[in-house]
Amino acid sequence: MRAVVLHEHGGPDHLVFESDYPDPKAGPGDVVVRVRACSLNYHDIFTRNGMPGIKLGLPVICGLDVAGEIAEIGPEVEGWSVGDRVLIDPRNRVEGGLQGETVDGGLAELCRTRAHQLVRIPDGVSFEQAAALPVAFATAHRMMYTIGAVSKDDRVLILGASGGVGAGCVLLAKMAGAEVVACTSSDEKANRLREMGADHIIDYTKDDFVKETWKLYDKPHRRGFEGGVNVLVNFTGGDTWAYTPSGAFSGAAGCSPAARPRASIPRPTCASSGPSSCRSAAPTAGSARTWTPCSAISATAGWRFPSTACCRSRRRGRRCA
């Protein structure tokens, strides 16, 4: 089969296109999926570059988010048929492991996975739309609904709103009826966010987003939970990690990538894989299997490339679906 293979860690040039890579075979409990779409996430860049303290078996085929049709079914697999349209939940929640990292992923014509990781794609949802969901959208789903419990009465500030997770947060917050302030870095991205339904746009390359938030909602009062926003999404880290809670957030100061103040909690609850004191926002089995209307899903796919152009798109720094 054709595949994009990582033989050693490094830059984009270490991704090698191979036209005769061995086809995967389905063992007990396995299925082989004919890949129709695979999205790229920043985690794929982590895998390509190598991560401190994490040793991977190489070579490996990257690509966490995979959608396609079942091409082969192994022994002991029930409830699935060849030709079924499926999405792969990238995390193996039974034996452990991650598609595209500890086992081969979707940047190939065929991808082997465990049958219990399959999610059936509903009619009306394309392969591209499905492949844009798991890592970014399911993370956003947990941040907004499971941990943030966003509702129509909320004011939500989203940093990095034009990325995969950020765009998912914008869509889900608007579906809940919340008022959304989206921070981005260009007019092109701002226009896209408006199309998604963002109520206010802040270009943080031109304006201080905290002061712009004060203009919208007044300066927050830490003891009275007034002013500012009451839900903050900050998965970007860096200098904004400690800046946002004390500036735009109407709650106790703290480092919180996606947080909400509560009178009974001295520090905001968190929703990100940041400091150990914060709760993880990694996708859960439930959020990975939650489908939203196609009008919302389709907005998460920005560019489309043939698989043979994967290495070039990686060099451009773009996401693929």
Each domain of the chain, given as residue ranges in start order, spans 3-132+301-316, 136-259
pLDDT band at 308 (very low <50, low <70, confident <90, very high): low
What does the alpha-carbon distance between residue 212 and residue 290 come to, in Å, rounded to a whole number? 34
Query: How many residues belong to the chain?
Result: 321
What does the alpha-carbon distance between residue 216 and residue 200 come to, in Å, rounded to a whole number? 9
- Whether the pLDDT of residue 211 is over 80: the answer is yes
Which residue do the tokens 């903050």 mark?
232
What does the alpha-carbon distance between residue 108 and residue 178 come to, in Å, rounded to a whole number? 40
What does the alpha-carbon distance between residue 90 and residue 113 come to, in Å, rounded to a whole number? 9
pLDDT tens-digit series, residues 217-261: 888 776 666 778 888 888 766 555 545 544 555 432 222 344 444
Instruction: Determine the average pLDDT of the residues in 166-176.
Output: 93
What does the alpha-carbon distance between residue 44 and residue 135 come to, in Å, rounded to a whole number? 11
Q: Specify the pLDDT at position 107.
A: 95
The tokens describing 299, both together, are: 């907005």
What is the number of other CB atoms lying within 10 angstroms of the CB of residue 289? 15
- Whether the pLDDT of residue 126 is over 60: the answer is yes
Phi and psi torsions of 193, nearest 5°? -65, -35
What does the alpha-carbon distance between residue 141 and residue 147 come to, in Å, rounded to a whole number? 9
Contact (CB, 8 A) for 256 and 264: no
pLDDT tens-digit series, residues 61-80: 999 999 999 999 999 999 99
Which residue do the tokens 């860049």 mark?
45
Q: Would you put residue 237 in left (φ > 0), alpha (ψ -120 to 50) or beta?
A: left
Q: Which helix (H) or strand (E) holds 179?
A: strand 179-184
**Residue 303 vs residues 89, 225, 320: alpha-carbon distances, Å:** 22, 41, 6
Phi and psi torsions of 137, nearest 5°? -75, -40
Instruction: Give the global pTM.
Output: 0.76
The tokens describing 199, both together, are: 């109520």
Architecture of domain 136-259: 3-Layer(aba) Sandwich (3.40)
Decide which of 3.40.50.300, 2.120.10.30, 3.90.180.10, 1.25.40.10 is the CATH code for 3-132+301-316: 3.90.180.10
Q: Nearest CA to 300 among 125, 162, 142? A: 162
Q: Specify the pLDDT at position 235.
A: 74
